Structure 1
């Protein structure tokens, strides 16, 4: 479950996180350094700041970010939309919304390149929408005293949202997550990843304006090569990390193995 940080590489300047304005985050506010690693003294004092990690791999990274900032950790569910005949080729993504999956996001350039249209992706969207719903039910179950059904993505109005993943290769899942956060009212979004393909990091600035990354290697080939340990995470791994922040508790009977 534990992932080692990316290996040393060319670091890029990381933008700080904003200080809150009177009663709410100010998108134009100045920056402040994060609290010491594993600090808990400020936990709960930054209710204007949220860390949302993209499962599964992003949750291991997001846990470290949340601990450093002294804020709670939650997840934002996103599923890649792969080519019907080559699932590893990401053509888009779909993220959760207030009460279910949002609208799918497609990389139009990639669709054109492979000769497909959004209509050709209907079956893929349906399959990933179902998997998205399953993961929401596993990672964010509704308490027994509440109404039946899983909780949707929280209201993010007037909050600064830091979306965390384990890396940035094409950016399709990150874009879907950022758009979902803004659709839920986020005042400001920041994408934080340990390693990113230079082109993807630059392109992502048009989506969010703020990208924080440790390394953007010129010879980027994959996210995994920049980790000392890029082992697969399971649903139980994610639940264990979330439970350490007071979130969902592990449910072995509902947790198939494998990584996103």
Structure 2
């Protein structure tokens, strides 16, 4: 049986592992799209702000589902040189993939942020959340972007991950993970329901979180 019913269940279980975090200096960042659904539950449990961290996987030219790296807002890039050499990816192919993905990232920023400014991260504890980690490329890029944007302490938090991959991620100050299965092939295999999240889902989660924080400020 899969350990998580869906991303919301995963977010609630992950949030329970993060209950020591909270307060004005904490912000949760979700990786679009599916990671934002998980992150929304974490942010609600901790009662802290939610934002996106825009990241795009750089897939192999002939096998796009395999990440040879990733890019993130702020001009951040991570490239797995060992994998690139192993698959014989040329400089031209890498540039073409990167150029295409930067275009997609910029377009998605317009759609997902809808004129909202990026949340200030300087000096804050930033919890970077995705729905799982397989190769770790996008997680690394997201953590590096958060660091570049001034985060004081970075926590990579995921429901499920390859333990071998987590051991190689040094871009976060700490890592919180609910499950590290012995056999790990794909993130979706560890969910009963792992449907495609949409841009509308991301926008709705951000709107709901913004409304929650606005309501809290009025109560205070």
| TM-score bracket for the superposition, by shorter chain length | 0.7 to 0.9
**What secondary structure sits across from 2:178 in the alignment?**
strand
One of 2, 7, 23 as aligned partner of 1:3:
7
2:71 is aligned to 94
- TM-score normalised by the chain length of structure 2: 0.85
Whole-angstrom distance in 2 between the partners of 1:179 and 1:229: 30
Deviation string, structure 1 residues 11-33 (Cα, Å, up to 9, x no partner): xxx9976xxxxxxxxxxxxxx73
Quote the Cα distance in structure 1 between the aligned partners of 2:148 and 2:106.
18
Q: Where do 5+ consecutive residues of structure 2 fail to align?
A: 1-5, 212-220
Deviations 1:101-158 (A, max 9, x none): x142101111111112444311111111011011100111226xxxxxxx4x443111
| C-alpha distance in structure 2 between counterparts of 1:186 and 1:160, whole Å | 6
- Deviation of 1:243 (Å): 1.1
CA distance in 1, matches of 2:104, 2:207: 22
Could you tell me the TM-score, scaled by structure 1's length? 0.72
Specify whether residues 245 and 114 from structure 1 end up closer, same or farther in structure 2 by C-alpha distance, changes over 3 A only: same
* 1:47 and 2:51 aligned: no
Corresponding residue number in structure 2 for 1:170:
135
Larger radius of gyration: 1
- How many Å separate the matches in 2 of 1:239 and 1:186? 23
**2:83 counterpart residue number:** 110
- Give the whole-Å Cα distance in 2 for the aligned partners of 1:159 and 1:34: 11
Specify which of 211, 224, 247 is matched with residue 175 of structure 2: 211
Quick one: distance in 2 between partners of 1:114 and 1:81? 14
Q: Which among 115, 120, 124 is matched to residue 93 of structure 2?
A: 120
Gaps of 5+ in 1: 7-13, 18-31, 36-45, 144-150, 248-260
Question: Is 1:66–1:73's contact at 8 Å kept on the other side of the alignment?
Answer: yes
Structure holding more helix per residue: 2
1:228 deviates by 1.6
1:56 aligns with 2:56: no
Aligned length: 203
Check conservation: 1:52, 1:161, Cα contact below 8 A. yes
Identify which of 159, 170, 186 aligns with 1:194. Answer: 159
Tell me the residue number matched to 1:33: 20
Residues of 2 paired with 1:157 and 1:193: CA distance? 23
Q: Deviations over 1:57-109 (max 9, x none)?
A: 00110011101111011100100001112111110001012xxxx14210111
